[in-house]
Amino acid sequence: MKKLILSLFAMVCTTIAFAQFPGGQMPEFKPEEMAKHMTDRLKDSLQVNEDQYKKLYDINLKQANEMKEMMDKMMQGEQPEFNREAMQKRQEEQNAAIKAILTEDQYKRYEEMQANLRKRMASMGGGFGGGF
């Protein structure tokens, strides 16, 4: 999951850095939209109920807000601090929270989705320094 977060963050940053926007304006990154998109994908893939959806949305919103904070710092010219241990701890906490929400079968499928995403990202040259 840590690799997934880092890969998604890298994709967002790369897309922003290289995309051409009408009028030279970059669209605003909205954590709520990102959280909804991520949660909708889980809803479709895992057939989560409404209660699960709300809880997953809250987790994804927290993650999206953290990503926005890092992106804002980067846009202001700051270099975000990548603390591998802290990121891994956050990811483990997020996985534990997700596992507590999903059924055993749903969580198995969730892990399979994450593994497939990591494979796709690796085949596209994603990741950081090959260490992930």
pLDDT of residue 21: 47
pLDDT of residue 127: 53
Please write the tens of the pLDDT for every residue from 28-83: 779 999 999 999 999 999 999 999 999 999 999 999 998 888 888 878 887 766 77
pLDDT of residue 71: 82
4 CB burial (10 A radius; 0-12, 13-18, 19+): middle
Please write the tens of the pLDDT for every residue from 5-14: 555 555 555 5
pLDDT of residue 130: 41
pTM check: above 0.75:
no
Task: State the DSSP string of 8-61.
Answer: HHHHHHHHHHH---GGGPPPPP-HHHHHHHHHHHHHHHH---HHHHHHHHHHHH
* Dist CA 3 CA 77 (whole Å): 24
Q: What is the mean pLDDT of the chain?
A: 80
* Dist CA 71 CA 65 (whole Å): 10
pLDDT of residue 87: 81
